[in-house]
Every structure is written in C-alpha cells, then in structure tokens.
Structure 1
Amino acid sequence: MDSKASTATAPLLNQQNRINPPSKPKQKDFLNHLEAYLAKRDGVDKLLKISRYATKIVLASSALPETLPLTQRLKSFESSVGVSRKAFRLGKFVQDVNALRSSKFDSNQELVLALIAYVGEGFYFFVEQFVWLVKSGLIDKKHSRNLQKISAWAEFIGYAGSISLKFRDLSRISEDEKCVKSSIEIAIMRGNGCEEEKEKLSKLREKKMMKRLSVVQDSADALMALADIRDGGGPFLGPLSISLAGMLSALISTHKNWVSC
C-alpha cells in the first residue's frame, strides 16, 4: 500500500517541481558587496590605482596646458595618491611568504618558477616599505633612487616568474577542458545526461578567462617595472603608454577582486 501511494504521488511531485523550479541563489546586494570590497586592502588600493593612472593619462596626453592651475593640482594629486598606495604595502610581503609555504609543486621547474615569482614579489613589497618611508620623509631622500631601482628589479623578476607559472596553469586548464568536452560528447552519444559536466566546463572556461586576464595584468605591470628600471627610456615605455598599461592593470585587478569578494 505504501509503495502504491508513493507511486501515485510521484507524478504530482514532479509536476509541482516543474511548476515551482528550485530557486536560484540570490545575487549579493550591491551595497553589501561594495562594503566587503572596500573592507579589503586590495580593494581600496586598486581604486586608488585607477584614480592615479586616470590622472597620469590626462597629464601624459597633454590635454591640459602646463600653465593651467588644474594641471598642477592634478600633478600634486597623482603624487599624493602614489605615496598613499605605498602605505597599503606595509607587511604585504607576508602574503607571498605564506603563499610559498602553502604551495605544492609537481616538478623542480615549477618550484624554481614559484621561488622566482613569490620571492621576487615578496622582496618588492618589502623594499617598497622603505620607499614609502623615504617618500614620507623619515629616511633620507638620497637613498630613494637606489631603493626604487631595487624595488623595480624585484618586481620585474617576480612578474616574470608569475607569468611563466600562469602559462603552465593555462595549459593544465586547457587539458582539463578537453577531457570534460570528451566526456560531454560521449554522454550525448550514449543519450545520458551531462549537466554536471557542462557546469564543470563552464567553470573551467571562466577560470581560464580569469587566468588570461591575470597574464595580461602581470604583463602590464611588468612593462611598468621595466620602465622604472630604464627610467622611461625605450620603445613603448613613454609616459602615455605606461599610464595606459597602469590603467589596464588597475581595471583587471579591480574586476578580479570584485568577483572574488
């Protein structure tokens, strides 16, 4: 009797599910999301970065005459924001230390690349603390040039390692993507459902896109570090090109932080 009752009610339940499908998870409230984003160090830092490079683009484009009072105010604003951003790097090198400690490596080559990436970036953030102290007036300005050169070299080397690691990650993601596509094709041929595989494929594609954006961001940042090393000399290292690269990096990192928030 129980089995008959359950059999009889099954179509009703299925019909009810079709009428009232499971509700999708609600999106985050914008203001709550914004609050969480601004509570992060990187969130505020990237907004400052956008402000700074937007100002640098205006100044580098020569859209405003040098004699205009607004031009001088923009230069002062850009310089002030640059110093403010350096304050956000206090202690930030610790995250690279922890990232290196928690990483697992599949090969010696990956270990070497990770050391280059994390040690380079970590040392860059460490030196940037002293650059900030110079800019703030606590350390004599005669050390400024040497510290900035060391910082730029460390940053450039770190990005070289980071880009190499991300290309390896992209290769792995592409391989996983091929495997999932094959599973979907086999499931379709057999007439089986493959919703789980399709969802996995969608996540892999999203991950691949974010990884590609990270490569573009790191490349833009590496270009800016190279400009600091060469004091702005060389092709594609002019003020406008570097300002555009900085804005591109800022927008990508802002998007990444917003999505992960």
Structure 2
Amino acid sequence: MGTRKDSVDKLVIFLAKRDGIDKLVKTFQYVSKLAHWQLQKHNYSSMAERAKNWEVSSGLSRKAFRTGRFLTGFNTVRRNQEPNWTLQTLAVLANSGEMVYFFFDHLLWLARIGVLNTHLARKMSFISAFGEAFGYIFFIISDLINIRKGIRMEKQLKWEIEEMNSVCESVVVEEKRKKLSNVKSQRIMQLMAISANVADLCIAIADIEPNPFCNHTLTLGISGLVSAWAGWYRNWPS
C-alpha cells in the first residue's frame, strides 16, 4: 500500500514540473505519430486521421507550454560556474544553441497557428532545428567528458576504499562508498542525457537536411520516445 502511495506522490510531483508535463505530452506526440503510420499502412483512414490530429495538437501544445523557455538557457549561461574553461566553453555553446532553438520554436508556433505569416514557418523551423542540433552536439561532448572524469574518480575511490578497509574507521570508508554511489548515479543520468540528446539530434537533422533514414516515421517515432522516456527517468523524483 505504501509503495503505491509513494508512486502516486512521485507522479504528482513529476507532473507538477514543466519538464514532466512536456515529457508526457511528447510521449503522446510520438506514440500518435507511430499509430498514424501503422493505421495508414492498413488503410484505416478515419482512425489514422484522428491519430494525426492528436500528434499535431500535442506538438503545438508543447510549443505553447514552453513559451519563455529560452530564458532558462540565458540564465544557465549567466550563472555558469563549471570547474574548467573547457566545460565552461561547452556549456556556453550548448546553452546558446538551445536558446536559439527555443526562441525560434516560439516563433514557429506563432506561424503555425496563423499569428505570424504562415510562410515563415519553414524558415523558423530550419533555424530552430539548427540551433537545437548545434546545442545538442556540445551537450553530448560535455557529458562524455564528465563520464570520463567519473570513471577516473570511480577507479580512484575504489582504490582508496581497498586501501582504507584495513587501516581506517568504518565511518570514513562509508563516506567513500557514498561518494562512489553518487558517481555511479551521476553516470546513469549522464547516459540518459546523451540518449535523449542523440535522439533529439536525429530529429533536428531530419528538419535541417531531410534524408531517408532520419525522416522515416519509425526513426522519428523511436527517437521521440527515447528522448521522452530518458527525460522521464531524469525528471522522476528520487
């Protein structure tokens, strides 16, 4: 009973976050995209149209819900306190690309709903996708560097624990084990971030440079769900 209550509490906390709602609606968006593809293949035109409407409305609602999101990247750049200049530079480049992505994504939404000239939609979509791809490349590089640092730290901590087991108090060893556990947990989060960013990069490439692989419905659908579910994992309350 307690486990079920905890799960419900965590779901409420998750859905109270803007990112939590975004990942839920993103799941709807890409499940409906795959559903539309399958239904269309089997000539269920009426149901396929409903699935397409669900996909479009989910995509537009996500854009509306993320209004002002580009300011998050600006705030991250402003408060950037990464420990070395390489990570600082990567953080600035990554968040700058994300700012461009979200800013022009807002304009794309306005063009799609007819507030701006609808002919601007294609141009806004290209600029938004280009900023998205640019940012994700540097996010991925940054996470790979942090994973490499984490592996080195893990090796160091394991060696220290082995050395201390015979000569140090159990409290000191326990602290080292907690640090080791934190390093492993951070690596899982970084791997989830890389998975999401690679998936979103694939979606962005499909918009920048259309090609048979990235633009295939199955590729886009799976990429969208990988990104959404990796985001679920990262934002789910611990």
- In the alignment, the residues of structure 2 paired with residue 235 and residue 122 of structure 1 have an alpha-carbon distance, to the nearest angstrom, of 27
Match of 2:201 among 222, 232, 243: 222
| 2:223 corresponds to | 245
- In the alignment, the residues of structure 1 paired with residue 227 and residue 66 of structure 2 have an alpha-carbon distance, to the nearest angstrom, of 17
Q: Secondary structure at the match of 2:165?
A: helix
Following superposition, the deviation at residue 64 of structure 1 comes to 5.0
Contact 2:37/2:48 (<8 A) preserved? no
| 2:236 corresponds to | 258
Partner letter of residue 150 of structure 1?
I
Q: Secondary structure at the match of 1:113?
A: helix
Following superposition, the deviation at residue 192 of structure 1 comes to 4.4
Contact 1:173/1:204 (<8 A) preserved? yes
Q: Structure 1 segments of 4 or more deviating over 6 A?
A: none
- In the alignment, the residues of structure 1 paired with residue 90 and residue 4 of structure 2 have an alpha-carbon distance, to the nearest angstrom, of 38
- The answer to whether structure 1 residue 115 and structure 2 residue 125 are counterparts is no
Partner letter of residue 245 of structure 1?
S
- In the alignment, the residues of structure 2 paired with residue 167 and residue 60 of structure 1 have an alpha-carbon distance, to the nearest angstrom, of 35
Match of 2:139 among 162, 185, 191: 162
| 2:176 corresponds to | 197
Deviation per CA, 1:156-215, whole angstroms, max 9, x where unpaired? 000011111111111221122122111111022437422222222112111111111111
- The answer to whether structure 1 residue 80 and structure 2 residue 57 are counterparts is yes
- The answer to whether structure 1 residue 34 and structure 2 residue 11 are counterparts is yes
| 1:213 corresponds to | 192
Partner letter of residue 11 of structure 2?
L
Contact 1:217/1:252 (<8 A) preserved? yes
Deviation per CA, 1:98-146, whole angstroms, max 9, x where unpaired? 1111112444433332221000001111111111111221111110100
Q: Secondary structure at the match of 1:235?
A: coil
* Unpaired stretches in structure 2, ≥5 consecutive residues: none
Contact 2:94/2:135 (<8 A) preserved? yes
TM-score, normalisation: structure 1: 0.83
| 2:34 corresponds to | 57
Match of 1:71 among 45, 48, 53: 48
Partner letter of residue 250 of structure 1?
A
TM-score, normalisation: structure 2: 0.91
Partner letter of residue 13 of structure 2?
A
User: Aligned residue pairs: how many?
Assistant: 234
Partner letter of residue 30 of structure 1?
S
| 1:7 corresponds to | none
| 1:186 corresponds to | 163
| 1:138 corresponds to | 115
Identity of aligned residues (%): 31
Following superposition, the deviation at residue 31 of structure 1 comes to 2.6
Partner letter of residue 223 of structure 2?
A
Partner letter of residue 83 of structure 1?
L
- In the alignment, the residues of structure 2 paired with residue 39 and residue 106 of structure 1 have an alpha-carbon distance, to the nearest angstrom, of 32
Contact 1:117/1:161 (<8 A) preserved? yes
- In the alignment, the residues of structure 2 paired with residue 35 and residue 236 of structure 1 have an alpha-carbon distance, to the nearest angstrom, of 35
Q: Secondary structure at the match of 2:178?
A: helix
Which aligned pairs between 1:6-21 and structure 2 lie closer than 5 A?
A: none
Over 3 Å counting, the alpha-carbon distance change for 1:111 and 1:192 in structure 2 is closer
Partner letter of residue 133 of structure 2?
F
Larger Rg: 1
- In the alignment, the residues of structure 2 paired with residue 128 and residue 101 of structure 1 have an alpha-carbon distance, to the nearest angstrom, of 22
- In the alignment, the residues of structure 2 paired with residue 113 and residue 177 of structure 1 have an alpha-carbon distance, to the nearest angstrom, of 23
| 1:23 corresponds to | none
